[in-house]
Amino acid sequence: MAGQTIILRGDSQRAFACQMIGMAPQDAVVNIRAATRSSDQNAKMWAMLSDISRAQPDGRRHTPEMWKCLMMHACGHAVQFEVGLDGQPFPVGFRSSALSKVQMSDLIEFIYAYGARHGVRWSDEMRAA
């Protein structure tokens, strides 16, 4: 029996998952978790972080990667910073790829709110105008 990934979207997928568990060999491992963030959510987050980086709110000059860590930290996600060989801090630790879709939505909403408070012009709004 090869590894299986089943997305539980309805009753038929749940029934299939139960069937697969019933046929699983002894000592098989089952992992049930929330779906992780989507590619669209990821692209949206990076576009927003780039917009914030260009806007330099409060004179803060950070890369989009550093802004991501600052935003994740502000949302309560564990982020660590280390000092690189050049003396500059860089982020290590928690990755946004591990966020669930709900957590990623919350992060994006937080970034929107932060940007609104700091007058950030979002690139998707500028393209639409």
The per-residue pLDDT string of the chain (129 residues; one tens digit each, 9 = 90 and over) reads 567 888 888 999 999 999 999 999 999 999 888 888 999 999 999 999 999 999 999 999 999 998 998 999 899 887 777 888 999 887 777 678 888 999 999 999 999 999 999 999 999 866 555
Adjacent-strand bridge partners of 91: 81
**Residue 16: partners with Cβ closer than 8 Å, 6 or more residues away:** 6
Check if the beta carbon of residue 50 is closer than 8 Å to that of residue 64: yes
Secondary structure (3-state) at 7: coil
pLDDT score of 42: 94
- The angle subtended at Cα 106 by Cα 67 and Cα 54, nearest 5°, is 25
pLDDT score of 2: 66
